[in-house]
Chains A and B, each alone.
Chain A
Amino acid sequence: MATPLTLRQRFSLARFLRGLGTETGPVTLDRRRIYILPTRQGLLLGAVLLAILLGAINYDNGLAFALVFLLTGLGVVSILHTWRNLLGLRLEAGRCPAVFAGETARFPVGVHNDGGEVRPAVILQAAHGSEAMADMGPGTQWVELARPAPRRGRLPLGRITVATRFPLGLFRAWSPLELAMDCLVYPAPAPQRGLPPDQPGTAGSGGERGQGHDDFAALRPYHAGDSLRHVHWKAVAREQGMHTKQFAGEAAQELWLAWELLPGVAPEARLSRLCRWVLEADAAGLAYGLRLPDRTIAPDFGPAQRRRCLEALALYGERP
């Protein structure tokens, strides 16, 4: 936070609870964003100390006075220790692997500790559920926060709270913050299996590709004895392994996974079916294209194609 806060901003309750809104880039927990308040145990200790103090006054007991004052000092000093346990930590959004709807998204959050001291028992809490506790040694620690992903689309991690009660549990220091971080959620694949039937009427759309010997319909893993001319060298260059092109000739069909192949099905269900087809086509090593009302992806194969298609399905209807 380069811009200084106004007094009103600094003391607003929202900042206290929610932080400063979404922030891109690593967030450093400086002294302005760490809050601290006594826990229930801290208040209980206060009551116990008061009781001892009353006893000490009544019995005029020097050592009981000393004990109360020592424990008071302990409580006060532990404020600094608890606060210090968070101070200077740097939080960074990691890359969240995409998941299918219904699965749990796992958000890796990088916690950098530039100091030499271990920061024990630092808790990361997501506003939606999961919580992780770890000892942050010097260097970087990656902590995973889980959040259920019920629907396709972009799922933000939302507000997280970095908190600690270490060392004595009498005070809780926390800092709310929102990292710019979201997880792509693909549609849940429909349970129904089987690729779409052949689509004779679709040939025209792939018209620029000449039919015949040079066209291939699919790849299969390379076997010894296959002609080296048929090896898919581009894939080798991408370090995807040796594949042999299978040429389909006249019989070759272009596989188009298209929105209009599923008339009368509700949009989300269509996306689910399309998602299943993409997975099956990819598993079979086929080249396939995807046609959505707002977007068309030319036929191709491989992990990049799979990701492109799934991403298009996840973000269908959302305009970037």
Chain B
Amino acid sequence: MIPLHGRLWLLGALAAVLLPQLLRLPPWLATCCAGLLGWRLVIDLRSRALPGRWSRLLLTLLGIGAVLLGYRTLFGPDAGLALLSVMLCLKLLELRTLRDAVLVIFLGWFLVAGGFLVDQSIFVGAYLLLTVWLLTAALIALNHPGGPAHRYYLRRAGLLLAQSLPIMVLLFVLFPRLPGPLWGVPKDSLVARTGISDHMTLGTISELAESEAVAFRVQFDGPVPPADQLYWRGPVLWTTDGRRWDPIPREFPPAWFRDAPGYEALGEPVRYALTLESHDEHWLFALELPAALPPGLNLSADFQLLLPRKATTRQRYELAAHTRYRTGALPDEQRRLGLQLPAGRNPRSLALGREWADRAPADIVRTALELFRAQPYWYTRRPPLLGEHAIDDFLFATQRGFCEHYAAAFVTLMRAAGVPARVVTGYQGGESNPLADYLIVRQSHAHAWAEVWLDGQGWTRIDPTAVIPPQRVETEADLQRFRSTATPLLNADLGWITRNLSRLRYGWDALNNAWNQWVLGYNHQRQKELLQRLGLLHFGWQGVVVALFGAMGLVLAAVAVFLLRQGRARTDAVVRLFERYCRKLARIGLRRLPHEGPADFADRVAAARPDLAEASNEVSALYVALRYGAARTETLSRLRDAVARFRPRRRRGSAATAA
């Protein structure tokens, strides 16, 4: 039978492990689990009998049925975790032997690992480290029938975990990571999809504009390029029905789309590392235009950087880009698509465009931008609803909109005037984190702009939103968003509180970023990069394994030395204290003889100096208790105090009666 304190520790630690799981379970299932825990607590505290075999079997079937009812399956992370939680609680009802209890502890650790499938944030990591600590303390309590010593279990578990931390770090860094999954990863239903979608219907990006969620983070090798060059390229939209814009379908792309196009770079490339949050799509939002492709990635003919698989996990990419470039000739298919417009939609816009058709393309672009600048067009993130002829409504009636309205209207006008044009969506700008050297790009940085094809220059980026004068931005919030397209990244006109709040937020984001980079995103590739930089890969993976075992041996040797010292230290302290006491007496002429025991010496001191008798008797009694008796921990501190207080002074006139 297991000691009671061990069982109570087990229940407590298990409750802590189950807590985050219970919050995720359907409420009635969570209530059942909590009820089972409570039942076991009553059994332990009131010494009630365990339920019989048949009632346990019935409860088990009910548990499986409940999970099936709630999740429609027993497999996959969610249902699996729910099943494991319920079964763990049921296991408590037949917990008799130490082996049962130890199994529950192990399953508790397993459940902790399962929890990471759902959430890997810093908070969850810290909380679950705490539960690992509690489970370890519970395991120690179970293995200690001697009696409850609660603080000792916590301390001992903490010591054990602290000593295993270096091994964890070593293994984490050096244990060879395998690329790719071993078996199919089920699609994670818990990750809500955020981010830019694969098409644009006027009005969709405005939802993203409110979202502070991080899309990706960027660290530049050199200085951050000016804000007006920070265009992160996503889906390129070619075809339109007058209202909705679509890219070239990835499933059936035309032949020209697959060949990477050439372009002429006009300057040095910008190098940067981009950590993309999962968005469940194929795009990598790269700076225009990619200079070098990481292996496995594709560049489409319209300069979209495409991932081989959908981005379901956070990934880091080393990239390079040319922000000044000139693209080559325009193939006929691209020209045809770049001029496509639905018949019968937006007649007034088409007519306006056709009026400009006989001018030079550069002139047409200038005219359209002048239109947005001079006419009363407003920038707002809450534009009025648009009707059947959406572009006409926007250009001639409401005149209120934001990036996607301006980009769509601009491209429509260009195409009507005979200039090949397309809409590009993605992100623009980014917040630089002043506490760490990187840029945060949030969903609120989502943006849409236009590209036109000009002779001699090729595809040229035009951002029609940027020409709206700042006084025609509707609200303060819009202004801030609007400014990022044109002005430096951090606006200086923040109040003291906002500044400190934002410092906090940036600090937190920096921490999160480091966590993402080094804990969650540390994979096969990152490991290879790091080991290469450390020079460990020089001898191949065998070298890494040798280094791993060598370093682990060193850690264990250090732990062993620590443990051996720990046992000896107290004895040494006793001797040291007694020697100090003897030295103090020697200074006044009372020297301890080599054969003299502490008690005899104390008697001699008392005879020679009755005024010191009390203090020296105390010291020697404490010393004797520590060396030869079953002394307790407090005795040592009492000896320390006694020796510190012992300040014998030489008496005038009386010669010390040293032997």
Contact surface of A with B, Cβ cutoff 8 Å? 40-41, 44-45, 48, 51-52, 54-74, 76-78, 80-81, 84, 87-88, 114-117, 120-121, 133-135, 137-140, 165-169
Contacts and interface: CB of A to CB of B under 8 A. Distances in A.
A70 B161 contact: yes
Contacts of A69: 167-169, 171-172, 175
Contact of A168 (B124, B136, B571): B136
18 contacts: A58-B181, A59-B185, A61-B113, A62-B520, A62-B521, A70-B132, A71-B132, A72-B164, A77-B164, A77-B556, A81-B563, A87-B564, A115-B567, A135-B147, A139-B629, A167-B140, A168-B136, A169-B142
Nearest to B166: A73
B144 interface: yes
Given A58-B183, A60-B523, A137-B630, A121 B146 contact: yes
A77 B571 contact: no
B120 A61 contact: yes
B519 A41 contact: no
Contacts of A87: 564, 567
Given A68-B113, A165-B143, A167-B140, A80 B560 contact: yes
Contact of B168 (A56, A64, A70): A70
Nearest to B518: A62
B501 to A, nearest CB: 29
A73 B163 contact: yes
Given A167-B140, A169-B98, A138 B631 contact: yes
B106 A115 contact: no
Contact of B144 (A60, A77, A88, A166): A166
B189 interface: no
Given A59-B185, A116-B571, A73 B519 contact: no
B556 A76 contact: yes
Given A65-B172, A166-B140, 19 more contacts: A44-B103, A54-B182, A58-B182, A61-B120, A67-B113, A69-B175, A70-B168, A72-B164, A73-B168, A76-B167, A76-B552, A80-B556, A116-B569, A116-B636, A121-B143, A137-B630, A139-B629, A139-B630, A168-B143
Interface in B568-592: 568-571
Nearest to B182: A58
In this complex, the member of B147, B559, B566, B569 whose beta carbon has the largest number of chain A beta carbons within 10 angstroms is: B559
A67 B568 CA distance: 33
B630 A52 contact: no
Contact of B181 (A59, A115, A138, A140): A59
Nearest to A164: B143
Contacts of B220: none
B164 A73 contact: yes
Contacts of B504: none
Contacts of A72: 164, 167-168, 171
Contacts of B172: 65-66, 69
Nearest to B574: A116
B160 A167 contact: yes
Nearest to A47: B106
B112 interface: yes
Contacts of B140: 166-168
B165 A73 contact: yes
Contacts of B109: 48, 52, 67, 71
Closest 3 CB pairs of A and B: A116-B570, A73-B164, A73-B167
Interface residues of B, number: 70
Contact of A74 (B143, B164, B522): B164
A62 B120 contact: yes
A64 B181 contact: no
Contacts of B98: 169
Contacts of A169: 98, 102, 139, 142-143
Nearest to B573: A116
Contacts of B335: none
B567 A48 contact: no
Contacts of B103: 44
B313 A60 contact: yes
B384 interface: no
Contacts of A68: 113
B156 interface: yes
Contacts of B168: 66, 69-70, 72-73
A135 B140 CA distance: 14
B630 A135 contact: no
A317 B120 CA distance: 78
Interface in B88-104: 98-99, 102-103
B178 interface: yes
A122 B332 CA distance: 87
A73 B170 CA distance: 10
Contact of B113 (A60, A64, A88): A64
Given A76-B556, A115-B567, A139-B630, A62 B522 contact: yes
A87 B521 CA distance: 43
A72 B106 CA distance: 13
B117 interface: yes
Given A51-B110, A63-B125, A67-B112, A58 B175 contact: no
Contact of A117 (B102, B132, B521, B566): B566
B80 to A, nearest CB: 10
B116 interface: yes
Contacts of B157: 167
Given A41-B99, A58-B183, A62-B521, A52 B110 contact: yes
Contacts of B125: 63, 66
B178 A41 contact: no
Contacts of B597: none
Nearest to B99: A41
B26 interface: no
A70 B165 contact: yes
Contacts of B146: 120-121, 133-135
B145 interface: yes
Contact of B571 (A59, A61, A115): A115
A78 B522 CA distance: 28
Nearest to A141: B630
Given A77-B163, A168-B160, A57 B519 contact: no
B624 to A, nearest CB: 12
Nearest to B626: A138
Contact of A116 (B163, B171, B175, B567): B567
